Amino acid sequence: MSDPNLIPMPSSIKNFPGEFDIQLISSIVLKNNSKGEKNCAKLFQGYLKPIGHISICSIKEGQENQLHIELETSYQIDNEGYSLVIGKNDAIYLRASTASGLFYGFQTFRQMCDPSLEKRKKPEITTIPNCEIKDAPRFAYRGMHLDVSRHFFDVGFIKTYIDMIAFHKMNVFHWHLTDDNGWRIEIKKYPGLTDKSAWRVDRRHDPWKEGSPIKPNESPTYGGFYTQDEIKEVEQYASERNITVIPEIEMPGHTSEVFAAYPELSCNKNIIPVNPGSYWPNVDIFCAGNDDVFTFLENILGEIIELFPGDYIHIGGDEAEKTYWKTCPLCQKRINEEGLKDEHELQSWFIKRIEKFIIKNNKKLIGWDEILEGGLAPSATVMSWRGVHGGIESARAGHDVIMCPTSHCYFDHHQAAPEFSSDAFGGYTTLKKVYSFDPIPEELSKNQSNYILGGQGNLWTEYVQTPDLAQYRVLPRMAALSEVLWTGSGSYTFENFYYRLIEIEKRFDQLDWAYAPGSFTVSIQPEFKSRDKGFYINLTSEKPDKTIRFTTNGKDPTIDSTAFSGPIMINQTTTIKAALFINEEQAGLISEKTIFAHKAMGKKVKYNNMYKKRYAGTGAITLVDGITGTKVYNDGFWQGWEKNDLDVIIDLEKVDQLNKVSIGFLESHDSWIFLPTEVSFSFSNDGISFELGQKINVKNGKKNGEPNRYLVEALGLKTQARYVKVKAKNQRICPEWHVGAGEKTWLFCDEIVIE
């Protein structure tokens, strides 16, 4: 007998012969008649109402055809865990040591029933399999984030979002309530925040990065905020579903919307209309030298603390641009008076001062990993988003960590190939990639790993204007993350998860939850090793049971083309075209890659300067895998260096005649990616002494032009060598005309071709 289709999959399932007919449930029996048991019983009673009224009682009257709910703190069941036995004595037994455990046991029972019950309809199928489930989560923190600053979502959708979180046995709702594009919570002491800071001019018709500023005599009309009564309503709704709400109030940066109402709290004291679109670099910041700022923030946090009974307050702390702090007399005075080294330590001082207030009010502080800069506040919890490095550093220092790296947990990123998808913030985070996430980095020891509380999926809403699109971005990636956080990474294969997801999506349909169909794109990837003196290409997709058909003759694949059955050997320049075929019809667009066979393909590359892990391409083989990147920086085929130069040596394994070396670079000014200023090619027979072959100067293309792949070629070399050194100088700093003037530049490279 196969396991039931559950997500997240429980820790343990034992299947027994036979089935239990839920139509036969005559009553729900409470062992202790406690509040937790009563609340759980009402969930079952309401869910099973289409089948018939089921009474709730505390008298067993025998056990047959009864649903027994037992909450005992003495049970040897982990916090949030439960035991669910179906069919024993022709009854159902749900046991837990906490009320949350009972709630999650109900969610499991719910997923075992016919999906039509989600619409409160009488189901055609009323049987569920007999089994024994013992279950508990791997991680205590299982969160979902929602940004309501960029686009405001009403209370109705917030409750739906909470329902989605609860369905997946997640237990934290991180509510991003303030940011540059709008303040979203009523603060009684500062009405200007909702009168002015919550509203901006409507630029929804413009691309996010191109929203035009407010015009003279134009009134802000787009936005909104939650009243304190609405906050209490949402908090109660979440509490009933065992979800902790963590409010985020940004500081010291991402605060320009505040200065629409209270400009005196900034360094330059200017009134700033709430920005209708992209705002980067976000230089406007709370003045760290002004004591009135801390009075203001403490008054706000005082009201926030009263509204949210959970343990945590999130204060942001990310992307705090310190340009104005460097020139502000008050901030410089603060640095001198406090004996601080620089503006980074000033940020640390700022965060620590806020932390003292939060601790005094019996709360804990959470911040994005930038709060590490200048020294971490003593008891702060770090939310590691810029990769995993911040989490590793924090855990090693004995601080609690929540993992949410952009690589796996940013659901505003594309979930299908970027070149084939609608607008998103960027990135490429497929369902399969989310499912591969492990919140515990391998660099941590067992003891250090104990500081990893769990993980979180983040939905930023620059490109998410409606509730349907918010659901579409989140689902089904939330399902993948929920299983990682509850069951544990690697417990099941992606294929196993995928087949269960197909059944769970039937439930999404009944609930009218929008969800993405996933990626139908065929991924064309190099094998990471050579074998049989050949180089191989692998074809994969997120649809494990669907046929991939491909061609190597330049023609588009059809139903008659070769079905992929294993890695394809490449020994000459080859164009591969591939597509999924479902029910004998092409599904999705055709993927196409040309694999350029050349002398360096598959050879060893030595990196004198390592690329950033965030932009590692396909790993060490990226520069010699025969595959060039698209014009999308995060398509998985580019490697990136932040401020550093590219400096690599390729070992061709033998001395050979070399006539040409070329290298591809990406230019994408909107993403801080610039061409190198200079590229040099040097050659050696021993790998120690190199002779310069050619040096080529490179100039920037059109300012803020469209993304562009730029090829640098060293032609007519006529040299013999075994080793080839390629160096490319990073511009290092964005030029004055760029919106990020003074910021670090990126250098992106895809392939070094040697002929």
Yes or no: say if 4 and 476 are a contact pair by the CB < 8 Å rule: no
The yes-or-no answer on residue 179 being catalytic is yes
425-437 average pLDDT score: 87
What average pLDDT does the segment 180-208 reach? 96
- Whether residue 741 is predicted with pLDDT greater than 80 in this model: the reply is no
What values do phi and psi take at 147, rounded to 5?
-90, 120
Q: What percent of the chain has pLDDT over 70?
A: 98
Whether 601 contacts 620, CB under 8 Å:
no
Both structure tokens of 488: 């544990």
SS3 324: helix
669 catalytic? Reply is no
Closest to 137 measured CA to CA, from 98, 85, 175, 164: 98
Q: What's residue 550's pLDDT?
A: 95
Over the stretch 675-690, which tens digit does the pLDDT of each residue have? 999 999 999 999 999 9
Query: Strands 547-551, 562-563: parallel, antiparallel or unpaired by DSSP?
Result: antiparallel
What is the reported pLDDT for 744? 87
Kindly state the average pLDDT of the residues 381-403: 92
Q: How confident is the model at residue 419 (pLDDT cuts 50, 70, 90)?
A: low
Domain 523-595 class in CATH? mainly beta
Give Cα 365 distance to the centre of its chain.
21
Gap between the Cα atoms of 91 and 112, Å rounded: 15
**pLDDT tens for residues 601-650?**
889 999 999 998 778 888 888 999 999 988 888 778 999 999 999 999 99
The candidate with the shortest Cα–Cα distance to 224, out of 302, 157, 318, is 157
Per-residue pLDDT band for 570 (boundaries 50, 70, 90) equals: confident
pLDDT of residue 347: 94
Q: What is the mean pLDDT of the chain?
A: 93
Lowest-pLDDT range of 272-276, 467-471, 529-533, 587-591: 529-533
Tally of CB atoms within 10 A around 256 = 23
One-letter amino acid of 672: W
Q: Compute the half-sphere exposure of residue 605: CA atoms within 13 Å on the CB side of its CA.
A: 25
Distance CA 6, CA 111 (A): 6
Averaged pLDDT for residues 739-753: 88
Sequence spans of domains, the chain: 12-135, 148-465, 523-595, 604-754
609, 642 Cβ separation under 8 angstroms = no
Q: What strand order describes the sheet that includes 92-96?
A: 12-21, 127-135, 82-86, 92-96, 66-71, 27-30, 55-57
- Cα separation, 153 vs 213, in Å, equals 23
Q: Report the pLDDT averaged over residues 652-664.
A: 95
CA distance 666 to 664: 7
Report pLDDT digits (tens) over 508-551: 999 999 999 888 888 888 875 544 566 888 998 888 889 999 99
For domain 12-135, give the fold. Answer: Chitobiase; domain 2 (3.30.379)
pLDDT number for residue 528? 55
Q: Over the stretch 310-367, which tens digit does the pLDDT of each residue have?
A: 999 999 999 899 999 999 999 999 999 999 999 999 999 999 999 999 999 999 999 9
User: Per-residue confidence at 420, pLDDT binned at 50, 70, 90?
Assistant: low
Helices (H), 125-227: 155-167, 192-195
For residue 751, is pLDDT > 70? Answer: yes
Q: How far apart are CA 217 and CA 203, in angstroms?
A: 16
Residue 198: which residues within 8 A CB-CB, separation 6 or more?
Answer: 182, 183, 184, 223, 224, 225, 257, 274
The DSSP code for 348 is: H
148-465 and 604-754 have identical folds: no
Q: Among 176, 254, 408, 598, which one carries the catalytic annotation?
A: 254
- Whole-number Å distance between alpha carbons of 102 and 104: 6
Characterize the bridge pairing of strands 523-526 and 535-540. Answer: antiparallel
For tokens 């202790």, name the residue.
32
Is 532 annotated in the active site? no
Mean pLDDT, range 79-100, rounded to an integer: 96
Catalytic residue among 179, 180, 343, 462: 179
Rounded to an integer, what distance in angstroms lies between the CA atom of residue 579 and that of residue 548?
A: 6
Provide the 10 A C-beta neighbour count for residue 675: 22
Fill in the DSSP letter of residue 673: B
Calculate mean pLDDT across residues 246-265: 97
Residue 717 has pLDDT above 90, yes or no: yes
User: Which 3 state secondary structure label does DSSP give 403?
Assistant: strand
State the residue for tokens 């997923």.
Answer: 111
Q: What is the pLDDT of residue 680?
A: 96
The whole-number average pLDDT for the span 33-45 is 96
CATH level 3 topology of 604-754 = Jelly Rolls (2.60.120)
Structure tokens at 574: 């080859």
| C-alpha 349: how far from chain center | 29
> What is the pLDDT, as a whole number, of residue 335?
98
The amino acid at residue 406 is T
User: Higher confidence at residue 63 or residue 597?
Assistant: 597
Q: What tokens were used for 116?
A: 């039509």
Would you call 578 exposed, middle or buried from its count of C-beta atoms within 10 A (0-12, 13-18, 19+)? buried
Q: Are 382 and 403 in contact (CB under 8 A)?
A: no
Mean pLDDT of 497-514: 96
Give the range among 168-172, 207-211, 581-585, 748-752 with minimum mean pLDDT: 207-211
- Does the pLDDT at position 121 exceed 80? yes
409-441 burial string, b = 16+ CB within 10 Å, else e?
Answer: bbbbbbbbbbeeeeebbbbbbbbbbbbebebbb
Token pair for 170:
């997640």
Q: What would the mean pLDDT of 456-474 be, rounded to a whole number?
A: 96
Paired residues of 458 in beta bridges: 410
This prediction's pTM: 0.84
Name the DSSP letter for residue 204. Answer: T
Contacts of 450 (CB under 8 A, 6+ apart): none
Catalytic option among 202, 240, 319, 651: 319
Cis peptide before 476 (omega within 30 of 0): yes
Enter the CATH code of domain 148-465.
3.20.20.80
**pLDDT at residue 225, as a whole number:** 98
Reported confidence tier of residue 212, pLDDT bands at 50, 70, 90: confident
pLDDT beyond 60 at 442: yes
Q: Which residues are CB-neighbours of 589 under 8 A, at least 6 positions away?
A: 417, 420, 520, 521, 579
